[in-house]
Structure 1
């Protein structure tokens, strides 16, 4: 049983080492293709609109609660 535990422990340790090192290598050599990126202001405009609506709603509710 002791040999089995040592085998499983070393197997898991080796597996984790291979996974971490391959992830590190893939990350280090990754070159994104910048020609495929699309810059869009739609997420920014949507976020600003939601933030503005939230601000005015909170101000309106806050003023009603103060009266």
Structure 2
């Protein structure tokens, strides 16, 4: 159980770092199209909805991968 907790903790940490770095890179490389903007610009900012579903699905897949690898290694050691 200790190996699983370490695995999931490191996986979540790497996932958060990955999300942060890709968001930073995409923001840094974004160049808006000035010519296609409308003259009546709104000052409202909308970020959309966020959900934790991708993280939960990724954790489920990581858990299944961990369990499968543990089962595979146990059967290969015999």
TM-score of the superposed pair, with normalisation by structure 2: 0.51
Q: Give the structure with the larger helix fraction.
A: 1
Give unpaired runs (5+ residues) of structure 2. 43-78
Give unpaired runs (5+ residues) of structure 1. 44-67
Query: Stretches of 4+ moved more than 2 A in 1?
Result: none
Work out which structure has the larger RCO, using CA pairs closer than 8 Å and 6 or more positions apart in sequence. Answer: 2
Between Structure 1 and Structure 2, whose CA radius of gyration is higher? Answer: 1
Number of residue pairs aligned between Structure 1 and Structure 2: 42
